[in-house]
Structure 1
Amino acid sequence: MYVAVKGGERAIDNAHAWLAEERRGDPAVPDLSVAQIREQMALAVNRVMAEGSLYDPDLAALAIKQARGDLIEAIFLIRAYRTTLPRFGASHPVDTGAMACDRRVSATFKDAPGGQVLGPTFDYTHRLLDFKLAADGEAGQVAEAAPLQGPTPHIMGFLDREDLIQPEPAGAAIPPDLTREPLELPANRALRLQALTRADEGFTLGMAYSTQRGYARNHAFVAELRIGSVAVEMDIPELGFSIEIGEITLTECETVNQFQGSKTQPPQFTRGYGLVFGMSERKAISMALVDRALRWEELGEDNLGAPAQDAEFVLYHCDNIQATGFLEHIKLPHYVDFQSELELIRKLRREAAPLQEAAE
């Protein structure tokens, strides 16, 4: 029989108190400040901002501290907070061609105008533990390089000028706001990109890796990967013109893929695109690969049945907050549901018992 549980509120309060104690850890160890998390765990902060759809390093760092380092929980906190914020207007599309690049590399053109800038990257590290950090020392000090200033042309523009890459349509309609309206299929490319930019990094990486292993026939080159700050501008009705309201750091990736052509288009290259808050190059590259895989229908290519080509599969499963909510709800009380299942199994066993005895 189902019996109502008593004392639940008191147990929950105690669980919250214990959680706060566990979050703090040993009181003898200095408390971790929000500023320390923001400055020294920047990649985690960037992921929380990107998947939480809110650019605020201080709030993202606070969420990481509150969530005890559980980034999905921190993303959940940021999304929940975001829903409480009023919206005063919309900014102009950012001009990534005017990005002040801290990092800009290309795997397709060695001598790119403006040069290649390695920037802060793990690419050439030895992946060996640095025990100086455990001793509260610094591994090494180097002079900070100045970012590339002024317009830095996109490398894809060189292919554009030779008409070797599929042109992107201009003046596309503004897509629905995925943070305010639920996803609906079929989704155009702009809406798919919006979903991918806030998708779970691990899921997006797995989908991208599957395309490289042959599930979608999607061999890509990174035409350009750039990380830097861009200005955000917004129209002010009272002034009658737009002003710069701040700067944000973005990671942008453009991939180039072969395209065999169709009845109406000659053989050429096509693009994959990724744009993410902060320094998140793994996510941006993954996003670009998955974006290209999802374009099979609009390009008139064959659907090979690959998971990364299935828009419904990708877009409905890439959101870690939705996935976490559905997954973790099964650990909450389901006493009534289980009792009905239990009674059904008992009834079926009683009905089956005479048949089993007869068979023996």
Structure 2
Amino acid sequence: MYVAVKGGEQAIDNAHAWLAESRRGDVAIPELSVAQIREQMALAVGRVMAEGSLYDADLAALAIKQARGDLIEAIFLIRAYRTTLPRFGASRPVDTGAMAAIRRISATYKDLPGGQVLGPTFDYTHRLLDFALAAEGEAPVAPQAAPVGPVPRVTGFLDREGLIEPEPACDDPPPDLTREPLDLPAGRALRLQSLARGDEGFLLGLAYSSQRGFGRTHPFVGELRIGEVMVEVEIPELGLCVAIGAITLTECETVNQFTGSKTQPAQFTRGYGLVMGQSERKAIAMSLVDRALRWQELGEEDSGAPVQDQEFVLMHADNIQATGFLEHIKLPHYVDFQSELELVRRLRASAAQEAAE
């Protein structure tokens, strides 16, 4: 039970008005448009779409604007809006092998069919502030190149020689994490869903921990590709599939060592990451965590590392759940605190009395 606070509703209304004023900032400066955010903050928009489980760049940009750039708050807004949308059906699995890639690299093979395509990346920048951007001049025009694809998968080269495990089977049909609560232990399909919309920073920390020895996962990036894939839905009445649009995805397949077991020869194993938008850091981290969580099915020993603990990873990866549980302590807990305050006072008084005796 909370102590009633008089005037609370008026105070909340005032806080909302102040928030709107703070969001707008100096009215002498032109206001950011949703289109500007969508086009010029594409990586932030991609993260909000991925972790919000809703592919709509305009809505993600609107959420970023409303949240004043707080991406977790924007993800919260998108997820809340998503619950209001009707479902008309389910799309077919997308074919990432047919991706029209704008970026496609491999750390395992230098010469690839289709070539290494650097694409738009920060990898080769000097990480120096570009003060020319402050002048708000026109952007340089990049050479135009057509996306590549379809191109063969790098893991296919190893697969032909039997040097990598066969593609692990997934649950059929896969469960839907957005409609059913997470149930542990979770199959790989459900784990991948959870990781795909998990917090990027959390997954990055887990992936880094595994590289440092807490989980023994230090893979090669077999292939990283970014590009558009077609989304198709089946129309049972017509007996055909219809393409309803294209979405941008980032896919990462990692190649990991495996010394073998009594039943399996030495070979490479797979880690997998797939994320909406351009988010290669998240896709790579996801693939490392995916591989670390597969230790049981591969017959490996439990190292006790957090990244190999399914409950630890999956129950803490969701930033919206984490935010709700963390920020609820800002709410009034007056009665709870008063009871603990009285307890501390009694304990101190008892200790003082015993010391006096």
> Fold conserved (TM > 0.5)?
yes
Look up the match of 1:218. 217
C-alpha separation in 1, matches of 2:220 and 2:245: 33
The code of the aligned residue for 2:310 comes to: A
Tell me the equivalent position of 1:56. Answer: 56
Find the aligned partners of 2:264 and 2:144 in 1 and give their Cα distance: 47
Counterpart for residue 120 of structure 2: 120
**Structure 2 contact 97–152 (Cα < 8 Å) conserved:** yes
Q: Is the 8 A contact 2:226 2:248 kept in 1?
A: yes
Query: Does the Cα contact within 8 Å between 2:292 and 2:307 map onto a contact in 1?
Result: yes
**Residue 305 of structure 2 aligns with which residue?**
306
> 1:191-230 to 2 correspondence within 5 Å?
191-230=190-229
The amino acid across from 2:4 in the alignment is: A
Give the conservation status (yes or no) of the 8 Å contact 2:226–2:249: yes
Q: Is the partner of 2:44 in helix, strand or coil?
A: helix
Q: SS of the residue aligned with 1:271?
A: strand
Structure 2 segments unaligned to the other structure (5+ residues): none
Residue 316 of structure 1 is matched in structure 2 by 315
Within-5 A mapping of 1:335-354: 335-354=334-353
| C-alpha distance in 2 between matches for 1:34 and 1:209 | 34
- For 1:128, the aligned partner's letter is L
Kept after mapping to 1: 8 A contact 2:248/2:277: yes
Taking structure 2 as the reference length, the TM-score comes to 0.97
Q: What is the deviation of 1:259?
A: 0.4
Where does residue 165 of structure 2 map in the other structure? 166
Indicate the SS of the match to 2:97.
Answer: helix
Unaligned runs of 5+ in 1: none
Are 2:38 and 1:38 aligned?
A: yes
Per-residue Cα deviation, 1:258-297 (whole angstroms, up to 9, x for no partner): 1011111110000000000000000000000011111111
**Structure 1 SS opposite 2:252:** strand
Alignment of 1:254-293 (within 5 A): 254-293=253-292
| AA at the equivalent of 2:94 | V
The answer (yes or no) to whether the contact 2:171–2:188 under 8 Å persists in 1 is: no
Q: Which amino acid aligns with 2:186?
A: A
User: C-alpha separation between the residues in 2 aligned to 1:202 and 1:169?
Assistant: 27
| Alpha-carbon shift at residue 138 of structure 1 (Å) | 3.6
Alignment of 1:2-151 (within 5 A): 3-138=3-138, 140-149=140-149, 151=150
Deviates more, 1:58-67 or 1:341-350: 341-350
TM-score (norm 1): 0.97
Q: Percent identity?
A: 78
State the 1:176 CA deviation. 1.6
- Aligned equivalents of 1:90, 1:307: Cα separation in 2: 34
Q: Distance in 2 between matches of 1:345 and 1:215?
A: 40
Conserved in 1, the CA contact under 8 Å of 2:170 and 2:189? no
Structure-1 separation of matches of 2:273 and 2:260:
23
Shift, 1:139, TM fit: 5.3
Q: Work out whether residues 165 and 270 of structure 2, in 8 Å CA contact, stay in contact via their aligned partners in 1.
A: yes
Cα distance, 1:169–1:28 mapped onto 2, change above 3 Å: same
Partner SS, residue 198 of structure 2: coil
RMSD of the TM alignment (CA)? Answer: 1.2
The 1-side partners of 2:15 and 2:355 are apart by 48
Counterpart Cα distance in 2 of 1:287 and 1:97: 19
1:239/1:126 CA distance change after superposition, 3 Å? same
